[in-house]
Chain A
Amino acid sequence: MTRREIASVMAMLVGLGLVAFLPRLESGGYLMSLALPIAMYTVLATSWALFSGPTHYISLATGAFYGVGAYVVASGISFIPYPALVALAAIAGAVLAALVGVATLRLSGVYFVIFTLGLAELIRQLVTWVQNNMTGSRGLYVLTDITEPIIFWELLVLAAAAYLVGWLVARSRLGFALRIIGNDEAVAAHCGINSAGCKVILFVISGIFAAVVGAVMAPRFTYIEPGIAFSAQLSFQVVIMALLGGVHRLWGPLVGVVPFTLLWELISAHFPTQTVLLLGVAFLLIVYFIPQGIVGRVEQFARRLATARGPRHG
């Protein structure tokens, strides 16, 4: 490891360690109601960017994986131990991502986007149909003794795992292959790279994370129904946050998640009926004005400062 990498790891561990004390600070729960979504979206947006950052494939399937994870927990909670359900959710997410990946990643970008958007809706309708026709109830209860602080800590562990996986991928052949694929797929093929295979692996990784997040969040809902679990809005929010932060750095999405979650809190408190409209406006503004994300903008600014100070070598 280089000195810089060690510094990053230390910074991450110290940051996570400090944040982990958050639940101890208060008793009211308002802080937790902000910190929990931030932790959740950090995991979702970071793992989303692992796949979509280098490949430039916009996946709107986060909601589908998340919902599958939540439903695995909801349907098994009364007779299977919770940790086993989280593992099952991970497997379900991996299988679903592999199936979708093999079926669609050979297609060019735009077909992939539409397919992933349809996927969450398709699964939602399927689950609804099964529940209406076979179980006779619309939703499922998730009754556990898992408290919000525990969920929060679980999400922190997942965030650390997402960063670890991202770092390992970036320094592997797989990571290098993905950068080449993102640049020029024809060149990648002529260099001997199996593009479809690389993309499927990354898609599976991000699918696992989203499904596990769904499984971790399920106890917080208490009552789950398809409309809540398979939310297209969640998929879009993850994309917006990741793009806002910047997807070309591992920690980029975090920079988008924090302000956007706080902003979202404000919007849902003051304009509860216009949330979807404002989500769309935010999407347009971000893509139009800061396509490289906040991190990209800051780096651009830093480079300009460096050149203004005098041309250095490199």
Chain B
Amino acid sequence: MAEKNLLEVQSVSKRFGGLMALDRLSFAVRENEVLGLIGPNGSGKTTMINLISGALHPTAGDIFLGERLISDRPARYIARIGVARTFQLVRLLPSLTALENVLAGAVFGHKRLWGREARKYAARQLDRVGLGHAVNLPTSALTYIDEKRVELARALASDPRVLLLDEWLAGLNPTELRTGIDLIKSLRAEGRTIILVEHVMDAIRSLCDRCVVMNSGVKIAEGSPGAVLSDKEVIRAYLGDDHA
């Protein structure tokens, strides 16, 4: 099945003063694919997500969504044409209820609904992530995994063409982790295109179609999870020379 590329990152670099956070990184995400972005801490994964979502802009290189160049556009534009994200440290809107948080995605994102239709749709997204009972709860009443679910529902509510999950599974206990992995698996089964930054190896193996492995801002491997995780260079990056 030869799917076409939905998101293309072409030779992107990002410099923070004297630090080269990303150095001529290129990869592509195909439609309906789950791409894992992995690598040790500080390898530039979150920076990459920030560049795609428009929170930051690359020093050099281009990012395309379909035919559209998005790398010099503001975050609000990129959100509207169909890129939604979650944040590494959950960012909910504290004075809004769970439903209103999700509504934010449905009203202003790619989907752009309003009124009763938007509320119904947002409620269905909450139900979708298993929070149908929490619709009117204030965010302060939510547990950690439920906060993460609300954030995911908010991203889903915009019906994005590409979903960016920045360590969405981090910090969950083993039971929650299983729930979380199943949830993302179900999104994958729906045919969502997802870029996943993740450290949890079980999740990477069971969720990703393909992985891009980064170290110190450069791509060191790309391929199926099984192949890249046994790659010598990758093992060296994670565990040091002794284990390679």
Contact = CB atoms under 8 A, between A and B. Distances in A.
A255 B32 CA distance: 55
Nearest to B75: A189
Interface stretch (B23-31, B36-44, B99-107, B199-207): B99-107
Contacts of A182: 95
B136 A314 contact: yes
A192 B80 contact: yes
Interface residues of B, number: 30
Interface in A151-200: 173, 176-177, 179-180, 182-184, 186-195
A195 B108 CA distance: 11
A191 B154 contact: yes
Interface residues of A, number: 19
A217 B112 CA distance: 43
Contacts of A177: 108
A190 B96 contact: no
A173 B107 contact: yes
Contacts of B76: 188-195
A187 B104 contact: yes
A187 B87 CA distance: 9
Q: Find the residue from B75, B80, B96 having the highest chain A CB count within 10 A.
A: B75
Given A176-B107, A180-B93, A192 B79 contact: yes
B226 interface: no
A183 B93 CA distance: 5
Task: Name A's interface SS.
Answer: helix
A186 B55 contact: yes
A187 B93 contact: yes
B99 to A, nearest CB: 12
Contacts of B91: 184, 186-187
B160 to A, nearest CB: 10
Given A183-B94, A186-B55, A193 B108 contact: yes
Contacts of B54: 189-190
Contacts of A188: 76, 104, 108
Contacts of A180: 93, 96, 104, 108
18 contacts: A179-B96, A183-B93, A184-B93, A186-B55, A186-B91, A187-B91, A187-B104, A188-B76, A188-B108, A189-B74, A189-B79, A190-B75, A190-B76, A191-B79, A191-B107, A192-B112, A193-B108, A195-B76
Lowest 9 CB-CB distances: which A-B pairs, in order? A192-B79, A183-B93, A189-B75, A192-B108, A192-B80, A191-B108, A192-B109, A191-B104, A193-B108
